A and B are shown apart, each in its own frame.
Chain A
Amino acid sequence: MMIGVLDYKYCNSKSVFETLNVLTDDVCYVTDAKQIKNISKLVIPGVGSAKVSLDYLKKNGFTEEIVKFVERGQDILGICLGMQILFKNLSENGISEGLSFFESNVEPISEVSKIKTNIGWRKINMEKKILEIEDNSFYYFCHSFFVELKNSEKKYGVANIAELNKIPAIVNKENIYGFQFHPEKSQKNGIKLLQNFVNL
């Protein structure tokens, strides 16, 4: 069982890797698209920007490999930007096309709230139970964009940010998981969550 942490150049793959490595020895960086065939779970980290990252993934053959990986039914986890790129259109620095595993788009937070950037620890409200996450637990967020779930896709919303309930905190569609927050920077809650993903 090997967990791959995708390194798409302008991102923070390291924190995710190191956190997983405290939990298991079976983790590696994925720097070449060809590696994706050989891993059992894939994690896409965040701290990046939509346009630059999606261009990079397309140019280096990652997009197709990730699509095939997901079609094989293997577990994939996207964190922050990593979650957002799983969706259709992202609007940071112009419109970029995401991996389109979902049909909803990614929009600026300012559309649904007074604040432009959501930085800090927020409680999340779980609408469904997954990965043993407790309702009303804290996770760390740092983002200016969010996934605006279409009505037809609201069923994939697993949790919202309690105070900003139009912003999904967790999405899940079969083998696809997305966290808007950073579990690798959410101390004990985040570590427990990653442990549960490892154990899936």
Chain B
Amino acid sequence: MMKNFRIIPSLLIKDKRLVKGKNFKNHIDSGDPVKTCVAYDSQLADEIILVDLGAFEKKTKPDFETLDKVVNECNTPLTFGGNISNLDDAICAIKAGADKVLINTNLSETLINQISEKFGNQSIVAGIDLILKDDKIFQFHNNQILEVNLYDKISEILKLNIGELKITFVEKEGTKKGFNHNLAQEIIKITDKPIIFEGGFSTLKDIEEAFKRNINSIALGAMITFSDNNIFKIKQYLENLGYNMRLRD
């Protein structure tokens, strides 16, 4: 079956602006959420992930107002997250125009069932933040770092009625140090469900390597925020190498 590649800008909002940092720290201004999403829309991004970092840090309501403004000008599928903690938050997100909600901290069977009952399971992305250190795997969840068994943790989450997973390699986040291909390979053996990977992509070769090894959905942060790479150019590069990318409409 032809690969269904997705290249997805992953953006963080704080105080109504986009921010970007390293390892979830030292965030600096990275632009206007609306206009940046419009730029990615024009550059043929396959989807956009927008996460309210401020809401996550302060445990406040997610910024639906900014989401609303982004949707007004952007015709690219949008996944929204950042302290979505109850059904009402999910309703606000979808009504503001998100196609999917990203649930990480507040992942529970109850919440997932409530959301899928109203909007269908395809509207739910379960987010997992993983750290690989000294050959052990840890999950970063709700501001705690706990060692987990990779297979058990992912299987547990797969039991929920979700559409897909998003897995972030946290110690690589923002560093552009390179994506952990081996760990990703372990994970895709566990399930057929669509998985979006994020964390550490730094070069075009990095992306090509992932696609070569059967990863087909990747989220990019620092790589596009802090350099001249744009989505269109990334896709052009991959197409030059023989991958079938969605480049012309």
Q: Which residues of A contact B (CB under 8 A)?
A: 10-15, 18-19, 47-49, 51-52, 81, 92-93, 114-117, 119-122, 137-138, 140, 142-145, 162-163, 182, 184-191
Contacts and interface: CB of A to CB of B under 8 A. Distances in A.
B163 A48 contact: no
Interface residues of B, number: 40
Contacts, number: 109
A144 B119 contact: no
B193 interface: yes
A12 B99 contact: yes
B6 A47 contact: no
Contact of B46 (A10, A120, A145): A120
A142 B94 CA distance: 14
Contact of A47 (B68, B120, B192, B194): B120
Contact of A184 (B2, B75, B94): B75
Contacts of B96: 14
Interface of B: 1-2, 4-6, 41, 44, 46, 68, 71-73, 75-78, 91, 94-100, 116-123, 163-164, 192-194, 217, 246, 249
A145 B163 CA distance: 12
24 contacts: A12-B99, A14-B95, A15-B71, A15-B97, A47-B123, A48-B118, A49-B116, A49-B120, A51-B117, A52-B118, A114-B192, A117-B122, A117-B193, A117-B194, A119-B122, A119-B194, A138-B249, A142-B77, A144-B120, A144-B121, A182-B99, A187-B41, A187-B76, A191-B75
A167 to B, nearest CB: 13
Dominant secondary structure at the A interface: mixed
Contact of B246 (A11, A15, A121, A144): A121
Contacts of A122: 4
A12 B90 CA distance: 12
Given A49-B117, A116-B193, A121-B46, A185 B2 contact: no
